[in-house]
Structure formats: structure tokens, C-alpha cells
Amino acid sequence: MLKRCFRLLITLILLLPCAVTYAQDSVANKTPEMATAFRSSGKIYVVIAVLVAILAGLFIYVASLDRKISKIEK
């Protein structure tokens, strides 16, 4: 279980530079209007918090499923 989580974490860390590079490949000095509006009103932090909560819930759910399946396999 711990080994699988560690592999997943390493994979995500290694894929992060690719995502950042791809994001910088877009049109320079042109930000989306929605992002500017969220940033100026401070709502971007709410959006980030919701995304983090959803991802954390998914990771916890997958980890609990892994434990249950491991228990059934034994």
C-alpha cells in the first residue's frame, strides 16, 4: 500500500514539469478573463480549496478500496 502511494507520488512529481512546460507554451502575456476576475476578487482560493478537497477525497477513497481488496485477496 505504502509502496503504491509512493510510486503514485513520484509519478505525479515527475509529470508536473511537463504540465508546467505545456502551460507556458500558450500565447504569451494573455491571461484568461475569468482567471483575472477570480484572482482580483479573491475567489481563486475558494476554487483551489474545492479542487484540493475533491482530490483528497478521491485519494482517500482509492486507498480504502485498495485496503478492502487486499483484505479480500488474503
Supply 20's cell numbers. Answer: 508546467
CB 4 within 8 A of CB 66: yes
Distance CA 63, CA 47 (A): 24
- For 11-24, what is each residue's pLDDT tens digit? 877 776 665 555 55
* pTM summary value: 0.49
Per-residue confidence (pLDDT) for residue 22, from 0 to 100: 52
Low-confidence ranges of the chain (pLDDT < 50): none
Per-residue confidence (pLDDT) for residue 42, from 0 to 100: 76
